[in-house]
Chains A and B, each alone.
Chain A
Amino acid sequence: MSTAQPLPKPELKPEQPAPKKRGRYSVRLGTVEIAAVLIGLLYMIPFYYVISNSFKTQGDIFTNTSGLPKEWITSNYTDAWEAMNFGKVFLNSVIITVGANAVIVIFCSMAAWKLVRTKSRLSTIVFFLFVAAMIIPFQSIMIPLSKLSGDLGLQNSYWGLILMYLGFGSGLSIFLYHGFMKSIPEEIEEAAIIDGCSQWGVFWRIVFPLLKPITVTIVILNTLWIWNDFLLPSLMLRDVELRTIPLATFYFFGQYTKQWDLALAGLILGIIPLLLFFFAMQKQIIQGITSGSIK
């Protein structure tokens, strides 16, 4: 609009807009690029501070917070690893996250399938309950749950916690499976039933494989949630041996508040696993968030 037309040629006034030149790099785009990169750098500053200081001695942190380490030391990491018992803690997080994802995928996909295929009032009510309960904040359940789970012997165990994640994750996961399932034609299933396949076989052999895209979305959303969850495990797990990464970080940080050298290394240890997960699955994660939120 701002560029002056050298020769007005009315006959060139396009009926359809001229095809946009690809890769055209204008001054405006350059400005946008610089602005975006600057904001990006600003965003990264906290990471710079935490990472660079995690390699410093306690004295260096206090006198030279903003600079690079005068001398790079790695003992903070080895010390923090040992003090947090990080190997064990990491394994606990993996067991709980993988276990919870497995039961959520298995039982929620099964339920969603029957809920979509059964047209009855009961089916509608059950689906409504799952969806409506999503609005209940965890804080409104935690007090009675901590009593009930104690009575039922669900506390202080992997399995109890995994079952609770199934309960809390069921709403969103069934909702997402339900929405996706509607796009799967029923005829395929009918054909399989005529061929003598049982309901069980129809679901696991034919329907479940078709659900793969939404299963990936559900696993990603649940992993981000469960891996980082603090409050539920903190109420349910008493034994030190059962602690997950967020729990261990919490107690570790409480113990070393003024010892920033160890504390920072501990925080970074806690961050690394999910960062690796992200770089391995970046595309699916971004897609998962988009499709998980659009429904």
Chain B
Amino acid sequence: MAVGNKKKVKRGLEFWMFVGPVFLVFAVIVLVPFFNGVMYSFTDWNGITGELNWIGLDNYVRLFTVDEQFQQSFWLTTRYTVVAVILTNLVGFILAFLLTQNIRTRNFLRTIFFMPNLIGGLILGFVWQFIYVKGFASIGELTGWSLFELPWLGDAQTGFWGIVIVSVWQGGGYIMVIYIAALQNVPQELVEAAKIDGANRLSTLRNITIPLIMPSVTICLFLTISWSFKLFDTNLSLTNGGPFKSTEMLALNIYKESFTNNNLGLGSAKAIIFFVVVAAITVTQVYLTKKREVEA
């Protein structure tokens, strides 16, 4: 009995010797602040006076009734997510499809398309600010195409599409890498068999290839949804939410509410809503697409 207990204690000690250090850090950096955040969301904390008053659900009520900027950011983020997710996956898949054909430049081109992913969202936003403001204007002058003569980043519409173009340009190459790996794993016998049975390219793609790469579609949708919904760096550096907050997405709105306006209690409430929405969307999406996966 005593021996058994001793062994148990030793096992427990060993477990915490290996798991303990990182769990402690994880708890202090992630878990505790997360629960603190839930608590702060019920207060009027403003970060300056250090005074905290419990105000119940007031912050949450305010978000859904008075705070029009939050609602607008929410709606903007939703529209942006839908558009960016569809376009990024489409571009990524088309690139992957082209670059799994037996063409000579494919390795070189894969590198080219992946390269934007090495640049952080912040620097990328600045780079594209130059492209939109100076580059597009210059192309417009040279070609006379009205598309390039629009006031890029100067109004809500071009600001929205400006952000979409940058995200697709960057994310497409990352998604491409995942789709390439998936396409290379599709058994060639199945594709050949479909051809022999008289299927054309399009129906082979639709009925054989796409069902077989559904696991990757799950992953790519998951990645792009979470990138889009949480977009911050590019939003900050490309438009900084402007003009007149018309391109201020949720993450940026939370940031400004908390650190520019110093409404940390209200910011916390926004952050909790943000968490709930992100969690709900990603869990639902993984559940839905998992159901559509098939085995080869």
Residues of A within 8 A of B (CB): 1, 17, 23-24, 29, 32-33, 35-37, 39-40, 43-47, 49-50, 53, 61-62, 65-66, 107-108, 110-111, 113-115, 118, 122-123, 126, 129-130, 133, 135-145, 147-148, 152, 163-164, 166-168, 170-171, 174, 199, 203, 224, 227-231, 235, 246, 249-250, 253, 260, 263-264, 267, 270-271, 274-275, 277-278, 282, 286, 289-290, 293-294
- Note all chain A residues with C-beta closer than 8 A to B22: 107-108, 110-111, 166, 170, 174
Interface residues of B in 179-222 (CB under 8 A from A): 181, 192, 195-196, 200, 215-216, 219
- Note all chain A residues with C-beta closer than 8 A to B33: 141, 144-145, 148
Q: How far is the CA of A228 from the CA of B170 in the complex (A)?
A: 14
**Taking CB as reference atom, which chain A residue is nearest B36?**
A144
When the two chains form the complex, which single residue of A43, A108, A140, A228 contacts B37, counting CB atoms closer than 8 Å? A140
Q: A289, B178: Cβ atoms under 8 Å?
A: yes
A-B contact pairs, 22 of them (CB 8 A): A17-B196, A29-B102, A40-B113, A43-B169, A65-B137, A110-B19, A118-B11, A133-B30, A137-B229, A137-B271, A140-B34, A140-B271, A141-B34, A147-B47, A166-B26, A168-B30, A170-B25, A260-B134, A264-B130, A271-B119, A274-B119, A293-B219
The 7 A-B pairs at the shortest CB distance, nearest first, are namely: A167-B29, A228-B120, A65-B138, A144-B36, A114-B18, A144-B33, A107-B22
Determine whether B121 belongs to the interface, using a CB cutoff of 8 Å to chain A.
yes
Given known contacts A167-B25, A270-B123, A140 and B275 CB-to-CB distance under 8 angstroms: yes
From B26, B108, B135, residue with most partner A Cβ within 10 Å: B26
1/0 per residue, CB under 8 A from A, across B65-106: the answer is 000000000000000000000000000000100110111111
Q: How far is the CA of A29 from the CA of B33 in the complex (A)?
A: 55
When the two chains form the complex, which single residue of B15, B30, B181, B200 contacts A167, counting CB atoms closer than 8 Å? B30
Nearest CB on B from A27, distance (A): 13
From B30, B195, B254, residue with most partner A Cβ within 10 Å: B30
Given known contacts A65-B135, A170-B25, A139 and B123 CB-to-CB distance under 8 angstroms: no
Number of interface residues of B (CB under 8 A): 94
**Taking CB as reference atom, which chain A residue is nearest B119?**
A271
- Note all chain A residues with C-beta closer than 8 A to B229: 137
**Taking CB as reference atom, which chain A residue is nearest B174?**
A289
Determine whether B23 belongs to the interface, using a CB cutoff of 8 Å to chain A.
yes
Q: A140, B18: Cβ atoms under 8 Å?
A: no
Q: B237, A253: Cβ atoms under 8 Å?
A: yes
Given known contacts A111-B22, A113-B18, A148-B36, A50 and B278 CB-to-CB distance under 8 angstroms: no
Determine whether B63 belongs to the interface, using a CB cutoff of 8 Å to chain A.
no
When the two chains form the complex, which single residue of A123, A139, A144, A164 contacts B40, counting CB atoms closer than 8 Å? A144
Q: A199, B274: Cβ atoms under 8 Å?
A: no
Nearest CB on B from A107, distance (A): 4
The secondary structure that dominates the B interface is helix
Q: How far is the CA of A282 from the CA of B114 in the complex (A)?
A: 10
Q: B29, A32: Cβ atoms under 8 Å?
A: no
- Note all chain A residues with C-beta closer than 8 A to B95: 36, 39
- Note all chain B residues with C-beta closer than 8 A to A270: 123
Q: How far is the CA of A171 from the CA of B282 in the complex (A)?
A: 16
Given known contacts A115-B19, A137-B251, A224-B117, A66 and B101 CB-to-CB distance under 8 angstroms: no
Nearest CB on A from B137, distance (A): 7
**Taking CB as reference atom, which chain A residue is nearest B255?**
A139
Determine whether B155 belongs to the interface, using a CB cutoff of 8 Å to chain A.
no
Q: B105, A37: Cβ atoms under 8 Å?
A: yes
Q: B178, A290: Cβ atoms under 8 Å?
A: yes
Nearest CB on A from B154, distance (A): 15
Nearest CB on A from B250, distance (A): 8
Determine whether B156 belongs to the interface, using a CB cutoff of 8 Å to chain A.
no
Q: How far is the CA of A14 from the CA of B156 in the complex (A)?
A: 61
Nearest CB on B from A218, distance (A): 13
- Note all chain B residues with C-beta closer than 8 A to A290: 177-178, 181
**Taking CB as reference atom, which chain A residue is nearest B117?**
A224
Q: How far is the CA of A246 from the CA of B127 in the complex (A)?
A: 13
Task: Apart from A167-B28, A246-B122, A274-B119, list 13 A-B contacts with CB within 8 A.
Answer: A17-B192, A32-B103, A36-B106, A65-B137, A66-B138, A114-B14, A129-B26, A133-B26, A143-B40, A144-B33, A167-B29, A167-B30, A290-B181
When the two chains form the complex, which single residue of A126, A152, A294 contacts B19, counting CB atoms closer than 8 Å? A126
Nearest CB on A from B19, distance (A): 4
**Taking CB as reference atom, which chain B residue is nearest A22?**
B102
Given known contacts A36-B99, A167-B28, A167-B29, A229 and B120 CB-to-CB distance under 8 angstroms: yes
Interface residues of B in 218-253 (CB under 8 A from A): 219, 223, 229-230, 232-233, 236-237, 250-251
Nearest CB on A from B34, distance (A): 6
**Taking CB as reference atom, which chain A residue is nearest B108?**
A40
Q: B282, A135: Cβ atoms under 8 Å?
A: yes
Interface residues of B in 2-27 (CB under 8 A from A): 11, 14-15, 17-19, 21-23, 25-26
Nearest CB on B from A130, distance (A): 7
**Taking CB as reference atom, which chain A residue is nearest B118?**
A274
Nearest CB on A from B246, distance (A): 20
From A50, A140, A170, residue with most partner B Cβ within 10 Å: A140
Nearest CB on B from A22, distance (A): 8
Nearest CB on A from B93, distance (A): 13
- Note all chain B residues with C-beta closer than 8 A to A230: 120-122, 233, 236
Q: How far is the CA of A138 from the CA of B227 in the complex (A)?
A: 12
- Note all chain B residues with C-beta closer than 8 A to A118: 11, 15
